[in-house]
């Protein structure tokens, strides 16, 4: 991976435990870090974000090599991993912190995000009105260390075995068939 040409993207698609673990499996992704963005409180804690009062979403910030994996491919994964038609929730996870959101850095990235949303709509994968927010990126706050790689460290935790695990298996099947996963 060429560290001089790495780029970042930040988005929220529900619980960051699901999203982060999947993105870390992709070829071309240097890191996927769970955290918080979009709110008004500096250095928020998980407990504060869970109240819904900080305005933050649970997000993943991905550092990637665009020579290996494109922004468009990352968006395909993003829309595979969550339902962009559920307002402020994913399944039984309810609250503004679980909203579907793409944080863009400039007008060019905003245009690419709009195109990705349109492509996802045209795919017919999700029925209903898309509620994915497009928001100008301001700040990313990494989540507490115990959230990083949470699923890998806690696969038998009830939420992980019931929700995260099945999502990861579906992801692995689909994206390994496309040759997009790291070996191992």
Output the pTM of the full model: 0.94
2 domain residue, yes or no: no
Whether 160 is catalytic:
no
| Catalytic choice (15, 18, 22, 160) | 15
Gyration radius of the chain over CA positions: 15
| pLDDT score at 1 | 58
The CATH number for 33's domain is 3.30.1060.10
Q: Write out the residue range of the structural domain in which residue 136 sits.
A: 7-178
pLDDT tens digits, residue range 120-147? 999 999 999 999 999 999 999 999 999 9
1 domain residue, yes or no: no
171 domain residue, yes or no: yes
98 domain residue, yes or no: yes
138 domain residue, yes or no: yes
Structure tokens, 17: 């435990």
119 domain residue, yes or no: yes
Residue 87: pLDDT above 90? Answer: yes
On average, the pLDDT of the chain sits at: 95
184 domain residue, yes or no: no
How far is Cα 91 from Cα 80, in angstroms, rounded to an integer?
14
DSSP annotation string for 24-74: TTBTTEEEEEEEEESSS-SS--HHHHHTT-S--EEEEEEEE-TTTS-HHHH
| pLDDT score at 18 | 87
């Amino acid at each position: 991976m060429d560290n001089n040409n790495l780029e970042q993207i930040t988005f929220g698609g529900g619980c960051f435990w699901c999203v982060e673990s999947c993105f870390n499996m992709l070829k071309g992704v240097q890191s996927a870090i769970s955290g918080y963005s979009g709110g008004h409180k500096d250095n928020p804690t998980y407990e504060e974000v869970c109240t819904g009062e900080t305005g933050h979403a649970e997000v993943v910030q991905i550092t990637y090599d665009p020579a290996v994996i494109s922004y468009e491919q990352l968006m395909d994964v993003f829309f595979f991993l969550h339902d962009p038609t559920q307002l402020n929730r994913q399944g039984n996870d309810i609250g503004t912190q679980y909203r579907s959101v793409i944080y863009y850095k400039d007008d060019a990235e905003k245009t690419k995000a709009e195109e990705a949303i349109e492509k996802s709509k045209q795919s017919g994968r999700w029925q209903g009105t898309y509620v994915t927010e497009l928001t100008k990126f301001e700040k990313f706050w990494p989540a507490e260390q115990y959230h990083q790689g949470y699923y890998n460290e806690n696969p038998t935790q009830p939420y992980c075995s019931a929700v995260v695990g099945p999502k990861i298996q579906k992801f692995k099947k689909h994206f390994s068939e496309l040759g997009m996963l790291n070996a191992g």
